[in-house]
């Protein structure tokens, strides 16, 4: 994975990278999607151990990229609060995949989409 940015706070250690990509089941789900996605993103950005949380739509896929100090920190966030409510709601709103891995570098958005396509596992 070439051309990745590094987070200076974690130069010496491994980061846990989490990628999610969701495609709405139809345009009528957009309002409901954002009703859950926005609070979940706020929660991620404030979660202990989170170093970065960003989102970008690529080829009609709503991606999130979050960078964590550890997999344990990400897992503590995963099933709590607004993110838990989003997880519960999204199967009726969207289809998609997730992919998580350890790395010393943060992938670029081009890499995020490619990794998601190649390695993502179905979201359920």
Q: Which domains does the chain have, with CATH numbers?
A: 15-122 (3.30.70.100)
Q: What is the pLDDT of residue 13?
A: 73
Rounding to the nearest 10 degrees, give the CA dihedral for residues 39, 41, 45, 49: 110
Global pTM reads: 0.86
pLDDT at position 12: 47
Please tell me the predicted confidence (pLDDT) of residue 124: 61
| 54-98 pLDDT, tens digit each | 999 999 999 999 999 999 999 999 999 999 999 999 999 999 999
Does 2 score more than 80 pLDDT? no
């Amino acid at each position: 994975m070439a051309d990745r940015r590094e987070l200076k706070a974690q130069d010496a250690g491994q980061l846990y990278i989490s990628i999610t990509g969701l495609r709405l089941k139809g345009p009528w789900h957009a309002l409901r999607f954002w009703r859950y996605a926005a609070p979940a993103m706020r929660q991620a950005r404030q979660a202990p151990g989170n170093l970065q949380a960003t989102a970008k739509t690529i080829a009609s896929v709503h991606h999130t990229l979050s960078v964590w100090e550890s997999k344990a920190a990400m897992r503590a966030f995963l099933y709590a609060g607004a993110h838990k409510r989003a997880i519960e709601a999204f199967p009726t709103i969207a289809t998609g995949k997730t992919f998580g891995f350890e790395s010393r570098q943060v992938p670029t958005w081009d890499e995020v989409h490619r990794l998601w396509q190649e390695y993502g596992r179905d979201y359920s």
